[in-house]
Each structure stands twice: as structure tokens, then as C-alpha cells.
């Protein structure tokens, strides 16, 4: 019965008849002298009948080739990752910006529900008998944002930072913070526009028909960053002290030291949300923050 025999020098496998077992002769492929052992199947012997040092077979050759290819794959993978990373980061930031816009939409719905019940938007704050701000509009909106339990825990007979109310600091609704802010409770990302011709002068609420410029042309809440506003604190964006610049270098208390590169989200009086470019003309932004100025806001750079 023919047996398989592999030349130990060139690796060529041939069929050897039983009658040649133990005989020597030249390899038909490389010509070197070889001896067919008694058990030749799947074995290789040299011409003296001892087991030679094997060369690298086809499998080992494949492993060497694979090992050589691994660094190339790693390098190529690293380059691909470096190319994809900015796109992935941009996609994540776009998702966070849309999440921020959805937060403002929920705030807008709550404001309109409040207005439907009371006939006006909430004031920026409720003041004490001496005119000192005591309670923020963010507290007043809690029942309209499915946060009745938190509202019931709040006490209006003490300031926002009183002994009882201070315990509510960690309970800030997530809707009050932009996901790009990189902060946790109690810091909010959204402030109402406050001033003599804004959606509120502070303690005074506005009715819908007080907005002479049109609800779709009037900003009532804007996104802020790094301003350190406690979510229960009755402090917002004051049109009499702000610079009307988006993410300016002045460091003043401005409209929007933005959470998103080059843009800022704002809530309009009709409940819609717009994304404004950092290059927006400050005069246009100022016009958008008044309810009855009659200014031309046609230059508003709306991204969405």
C-alpha cells in the first residue's frame, strides 16, 4: 500500500510503494539523497535514518506572514481611528446640542401651560416685601414639568437657599441642564431674559399680548454656561448689564458663554427653539430680547 513520504530538504510529498521502504535514492524534486524509513507516513528522515531538524513548513510560514502583517494592521487601524475620531466627536456634540434644544422645548411647553392657567408667563422671580428676589421661575414651572413632588417639598415661606430649600439642591430636574455643560446639580444651563422690555422685568409677568414684536421674534430663555447659577436661584440674564455677545472674550455676564462650539440654543415666545451663530450681530440679539421694541430682527442667523 503506497505511503506518503515528505522530503526533509524541500518539503515535497510523494507516494512511496511498500517495496522501497528502507531504500535510499535521490529526491525527485530537489535531487538530494534520502532514505525511506519503515514508517514513512507523515514523517521526514534524512539519508542516515535519523530525524533531521525540520525547516519551517507552510503553517509556520503563514504565522510569520501574519505576525509581519499585524503591525501594519495596527498602524492602519490607528490611522483610521484618528481620521474617524473627529467625526465621532462632532456627531456626539450634535446629539448633545439637540438634547439641549429638547430641554428648552420642554421648558417652553411648561411656560405655555403656566400661561394657559394664569393668563401670563411666569415672572423671573417672586420677591419678598422688600423687593428682594426670593423664588425663581424654575420653581414655579415644576408642576408643569411632572415635578409636583419636588414642588411640594419647596417652602415659599423661606428664601430659595433657606434651611429646608437648600436640601433640594441635588434634586434639580435634568431638563434644567445642558448635557454639554459637564456639570452636575445644582448648576443650571438656562436663564430667563430679564429687563424693562424683556419677557419679565423681574417680579412682573407678561401676558401673551404684551409681546408686541411677536412671540416668534422674542427670546424668553437662553442657554448659558459657566455662570454658576443655582437652579433655584432667582438670578438670570439682565438686558441692562449684559453685553449681547455670544461667548465673548470680555468675561462679563453675557447672553451665552456657550456650551456648544460657535452656537447657542434659545427659546422663543412661541415655544420654538433656535440655534444662533456666535457671529450674530449684537444689535440683532438685543432686538430679539425685547418684547416691544419694534426692531428689525431679520438679520437673525438661524441654524435650525
Split at pLDDT 50, 70, 90, the class of 250 is: very low
Q: State the pLDDT at residue 59.
A: 54
Domain that holds residue 280: 102-288
Cα distance between residue 97 and residue 274, in whole Å: 11
Same domain for 149 and 216?
yes
181 and 33 within one domain: no
- How does pLDDT run across 108-125, given as a tens digit for each residue? 999 999 999 999 999 999
What band does 253 get if pLDDT is binned at 50, 70 and 90?
very low
* Per-residue confidence (pLDDT) for residue 41, from 0 to 100: 43
Q: Are residues 152 and 277 both part of a single domain?
A: yes
**Does residue 261 register a pLDDT over 80?**
no
Q: Do 44 and 191 reside in the same domain of the chain?
A: no
Query: How many CB atoms sit inside 10 A of residue 24's CB?
Result: 12
Q: Is 174 left (phi over 0), alpha (psi -120 to 50) or beta?
A: alpha
Is residue 93 one of the residues assigned to a domain?
Answer: no
Residues 69 and 218 placed together within one structural domain of the fold:
no
Residues 233 and 163 in one domain: yes
Least confidently predicted of 81-90, 103-112, 262-271, 295-304: 295-304
Residue 252 falls inside a structural domain:
yes
Do 151 and 47 share a structural domain? Answer: no
pLDDT score of 44: 42
Same domain? For 63 and 112 the reply is: no
The more confidently predicted of residues 298 and 303 is 298
What's the total number of domains in the chain?
Answer: 2
Give me the pLDDT at residue 196, please.
Answer: 94
Asked if residue 102 has pLDDT above 80, the reply is: yes
| Position 304 in a domain | no
What is the pLDDT confidence band of residue 155, given thresholds at 50, 70 and 90? very high
Cell numbers 490611522: residue: 79
> What pLDDT is recorded for position 164?
97
Q: Is the pLDDT of residue 154 over 80?
A: yes
Does the predicted model carry a pTM greater than 0.75?
no
Asked if 122 and 182 sit in the same domain, the reply is yes
Band (pLDDT 50/70/90 cuts) for residue 96 is: confident
Least confident of 135-139, 153-157, 171-175, 176-180: 176-180
Residue 245 lies in a domain: yes
17 vs 242, which has greater pLDDT? 242
Task: Evaluate whether residue 269 is within a structural domain.
Answer: yes
Within a domain: 10: yes
**Is the Cβ–Cβ distance between 256 and 242 less than 8 Å?**
no
pLDDT band at residue 85 under the 50/70/90 scheme: low
pLDDT greater than 60 at residue 133:
yes
Q: How sure is the predictor about 292, in pLDDT bands with cuts at 50, 70 and 90?
A: very high
pLDDT tens digit sequence for 52-84? 444 445 555 555 555 556 666 666 666 766 666
> Are residues 186 and 243 located together in one domain of the fold?
yes
In terms of domains, do 116 and 44 share one? no
Q: In this predicted structure, what is the pLDDT of residue 151?
A: 98
Chain-wide mean pLDDT for the chain? 80
Which has more pLDDT, 284 or 47? 284
Residues 159 and 58 in one domain: no
Higher confidence at residue 201 or residue 36? 201
Average pLDDT (121-138) is 97
Q: Is residue 92 part of a domain?
A: no
Closest CA to 30 of 48, 51, 14, 16: 14
Amino acid at each position: 500500500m503506497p505511503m506518503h513520504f515528505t522530503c526533509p530538504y524541500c518539503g515535497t510529498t510523494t507516494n512511496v510503494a511498500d517495496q522501497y521502504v528502507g531504500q535510499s535514492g535521490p529526491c525527485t524534486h530537489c535531487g538530494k539523497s534520502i532514505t525511506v524509513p519503515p514508517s514513512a507516513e507523515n514523517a521526514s528522515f534524512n539519508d542516515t535514518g535519523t530525524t533531521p531538524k525540520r525547516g519551517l513548513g507552510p503553517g509556520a510560514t503563514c504565522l510569520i506572514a501574519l505576525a509581519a502583517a499585524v503591525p501594519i494592521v495596527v498602524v492602519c487601524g490607528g490611522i483610521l481611528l484618528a481620521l474617524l475620531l473627529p467625526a465621532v466627536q462632532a456627531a456626539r456634540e450634535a446629539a448633545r446640542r439637540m438634547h439641549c434644544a429638547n430641554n428648552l422645548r420642554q421648558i417652553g411647553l411648561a411656560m405655555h401651560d403656566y400661561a394657559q392657567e394664569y393668563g401670563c408667563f411666569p415672572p423671573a422671580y417672586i420677591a419678598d416685601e422688600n423687593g428682594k428676589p426670593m423664588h425663581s421661575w424654575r420653581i414655579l414651572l415644576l408642576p408643569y414639568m411632572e415635578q409636583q413632588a419636588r414642588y411640594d417639598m419647596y417652602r415659599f415661606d423661606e428664601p430659595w437657599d433657606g434651611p429646608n430649600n437648600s436640601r433640594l439642591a441635588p434634586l434639580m430636574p435634568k431638563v434644567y441642564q445642558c448635557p454639554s455643560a459637564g456639570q452636575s446639580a445644582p448648576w443650571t444651563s438656562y436663564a430667563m431674559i430679564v429687563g424693562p422690555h424683556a419677557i419679565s422685568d423681574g417680579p412682573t409677568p407678561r401676558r401673551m399680548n404684551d409681546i408686541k414684536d411677536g412671540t416668534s421674534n422674542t427670546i424668553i430663555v437662553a442657554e448659558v454656561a459657566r455662570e454658576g447659577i443655582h437652579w433655584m436661584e432667582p438670578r438670570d440674564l439682565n438686558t441692562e448689564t449684559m453685553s449681547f455677545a455670544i461667548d465673548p472674550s470680555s468675561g462679563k455676564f453675557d447672553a451665552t458663554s456657550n456650551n456648544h462650539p460657535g452656537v447657542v440654543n434659545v427659546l422663543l415666545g412661541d415655544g420654538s427653539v433656535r440655534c444662533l451663530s456666535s457671529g450674530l450681530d449684537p444689535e440683532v440679539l438685543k432686538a430679539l430680547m425685547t418684547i416691544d421694541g419694534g426692531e428689525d430682527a431679520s438679520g437673525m442667523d438661524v441654524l435650525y
